[in-house]
């Protein structure tokens, strides 16, 4: 298991286009990926749970990955968030 803590900086938070990109990126990996905000958590591959986590601009999330590709998954999601959802894994076809 590995994890990372990040602050979501873009103005719509983890909603809308960013939520779509986040879930589609998480689904590229076999590992179980969980997003935590305070005491709430959501399966990163479940769009409804991710929206209900309601992460807004400036809030901190901890992303936890567990599985054979956990390091790559976290690195990819970290890049997505820190680039304000501009640097997208090319396997996510948009």
* Binding region for another protein (CB under 8 A) out of 8-16, 31-39, 61-69, 70-78: 8-16
Nearer to another protein, 5 or 57 (CB): 57
Q: Confirm or reject binding of residue 48 to another protein (CB under 8 A).
A: yes
> Do 65 and 74 touch, CB atoms closer than 8 A?
yes
* For another protein, the closer CB: 1 or 41: 41
CB 76 within 8 A of CB 89: yes
Q: Hey, is 85 helix, strand or coil?
A: coil
Cβ-in-10-Å burial (0-12, 13-18, 19+) of 23 comes to buried
In this chain, which of 5, 7, 38, 56 binds another protein, going by CB under 8 A?
56
Q: List active site positions.
A: 15
């Amino acid at each position: 298991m590995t994890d990372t803590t990040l602050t979501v900086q873009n103005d719509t938070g983890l909603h809308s286009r960013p939520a779509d990109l986040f879930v589609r990126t998480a689904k590229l990996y076999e590992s179980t990926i969980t997003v935590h905000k305070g005491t709430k958590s959501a399966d990163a591959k479940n769009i409804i749970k991710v929206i209900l986590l309601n992460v807004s601009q400036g809030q901190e999330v901890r992303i936890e990955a567990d599985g054979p590709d956990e390091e790559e998954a976290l690195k990819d999601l970290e890049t997505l968030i820190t680039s304000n959802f501009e640097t997208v894994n090319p396997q996510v076809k948009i």
